[in-house]
Structure 1
Amino acid sequence: MKVELPAAFEDAPISDLVVLIADMLDRLMAHNDRIALSPQALTRFHSRSAPAISVIDYLRRITRFINVERSCLLVSLLYIDAICARHPLFTLSSLTCHRFLITAIAVASKCLCDSFCTNALYAKVGGISVTELNILEREFLHMIDWRLMCTREILSEYYTNLVRTNASGKYAIADDHSPMAVQPLRQPVPTQHVRPTIEQNMAFAAHQRGEG
């Protein structure tokens, strides 16, 4: 049975967004975990071993104990693409995903939201020390060159692609015939956007399932 989601990502249940994002990240990690890790590719986001907690449970933990805006969850996907575009050796894998997610959400909340939590809370919920989160945050900002802003239109594209390429195929976006103006979260990023690596992975997954 299809689960019909609202056309606007702002109205989508957080629980469904978590499922969609976790599904996409799991597929991306499964692909990247097959790539041999070279010493040059190591970053501060790499852990010595994959965390025991799954990505979906990690995201559920974060959204349970922290009031995370939907835009912050979606923009973390854009951040993955932006950093991978700037640093081709970096991959989101089972060794990097968890640290990347908590850092991306913390940074996005501070950039896009009027209110946000302290690093002490982000670190506690994320299962790392405050010192480590501070280091990861600085590394993150350096890797992305402080390019954190995003338009609502871009986030809507990510949301639509998440729904359309979900592995279970049970999600669909409700028809919405009411015009909705595209408004920026703050200001548009004054640079051109490269089409996401994540979108390419989604298209590849759809092709494997015989949908494209």
Structure 2
Amino acid sequence: MAELEITSVMPKLITFLSSLLQRVADSNDLNCLFDPKKISAFHGLTRPNISIQSYLERIFKYANCSPSCFVVAYVYLDRFVQRQPSLPINSFNIHRLLITSVMVAAKFMDDMYYNNAYYAKVGGISTTEMNFLEVDFLFGLGFHLNVTPTTFHTYCAYLQRQMLVEPPLNVEETSLIIGRSQRLQLCTYNEDEASHQQQQQLAV
């Protein structure tokens, strides 16, 4: 999906991602009642009053980052939950994870971006907390920030297909881990495996 194509579907992408993340959060909220998980720096004391969709729309409105950043932020969230299975996405941490993932994506992808203080205001948190969340998120990712063109287009293609489905697929079929090990084959893109396959093809 080219940059122009992403721009043309951004409103629908924001709505779709919000719905997907809401379903994941709701499912994990229920799971945590029976299987309490570790509390992280992203975990708020209470559920934010603003909905996931309104929050993501606010980020989209004020962050002024490139549309690609939202796809890359989604990739980062996917990587984060893969590496941190004891920290599933829920309604207590999704807002902080969103603002942090978009900010990190903007810093990595865009030539111009706002500072942490600005993102803190957009996210409704303090600059100190924003700084701390950024560091925690980077370590949670293992500083694995690079997104290859192949990975980017794989995630774009997945999102594009799922946006054609109304409503979005159920939680078991989403790209984000929700506390279980089962994952849709297309959702987890193994860059090392893809690189190995490309090398084999070149060797032929």
Shorter-chain-normalised TM-score: which range? 0.7 to 0.9
Give the equivalent residue in structure 2 for 1:45. Answer: 42
Higher helix share: 2
1:113-128 mapped onto 2 (5 Å cutoff) = 113-128=110-125
Give the equivalent residue in structure 2 for 1:190. Answer: none
Stretches (4+) displaced over 6 A: none
Tell me the alpha carbon deviations over residues 34-78 of structure 1, each in whole angstroms, 9 at most, x when there is no partner. Answer: 112667611000001111111111111111112121221111121
Query: Are the counterparts in 1 of residues 65 and 110 from structure 2 also a CA contact under 8 Å?
Result: no
Query: Are the counterparts in 2 of residues 10 and 71 from structure 1 also a CA contact under 8 Å?
Result: no
Give the equivalent residue in structure 1 for 2:199. Answer: none
Structure 1 residue 166 displacement after superposition: 4.0
In structure 1, which of residues 8, 11, 34 is the aligned counterpart of residue 5 of structure 2? 11
Tell me how far apart the structure 2 counterparts of residues 52 and 167 of structure 1 sit (CA, whole Å): 29
Tell me how far apart the structure 2 counterparts of residues 94 and 46 of structure 1 sit (CA, whole Å): 9
Tell me how far apart the structure 1 counterparts of residues 155 and 103 of structure 2 sit (CA, whole Å): 19
Give the equivalent residue in structure 2 for 1:178. Answer: none
Taking structure 1 as reference, are residues 155 and 23 closer, same or farther at Cα in structure 2, changes over 3 Å only?
A: farther
In structure 2, which of residues 131, 134, 137 is the aligned counterpart of residue 137 of structure 1? 134
Structure 1 residue 200 displacement after superposition: 3.4
Tell me how far apart the structure 2 counterparts of residues 102 and 197 of structure 1 sit (CA, whole Å): 17
In the alignment, residue 118 of structure 1 is paired with which amino acid?
N
**Is 2:18 the partner of 1:22?**
yes
Query: Are the counterparts in 2 of residues 72 and 109 from structure 1 also a CA contact under 8 Å?
Result: yes
**Is 2:91 the partner of 1:94?**
yes
In percent, how many aligned pairs have the same letter?
34
1:63-212 mapped onto 2 (5 Å cutoff) = 63-166=60-163, 169=166, 197=176, 200=183
Tell me how far apart the structure 2 counterparts of residues 49 and 201 of structure 1 sit (CA, whole Å): 31
Q: When the two structures are superposed, what TM-score results if normalisation uses the length of structure 2? A: 0.75
Where structure 1 has 5 or more consecutive residues not aligned to the other structure, the ranges are 1-6, 172-195, 204-212
Tell me the alpha carbon deviations over residues 95-133 of structure 1, each in whole angstroms, 9 at most, x when there is no partner. Answer: 111000101111111111111101111000110010000
How many residue pairs get matched? 174
Query: Are the counterparts in 1 of residues 24 and 176 from structure 2 also a CA contact under 8 Å?
Result: no
In the alignment, residue 38 of structure 2 is paired with which amino acid?
A
Taking structure 1 as reference, are residues 170 and 98 closer, same or farther at Cα in structure 2, changes over 3 Å only?
A: closer
Q: When the two structures are superposed, what TM-score results if normalisation uses the length of structure 1? A: 0.73
Where structure 2 has 5 or more consecutive residues not aligned to the other structure, the ranges are 169-174, 187-204
Structure 1 residue 10 displacement after superposition: 4.2
Structure 1 residue 160 displacement after superposition: 2.4
Taking structure 1 as reference, are residues 146 and 16 closer, same or farther at Cα in structure 2, changes over 3 Å only?
A: same
Query: Are the counterparts in 2 of residues 29 and 93 from structure 1 also a CA contact under 8 Å?
Result: yes
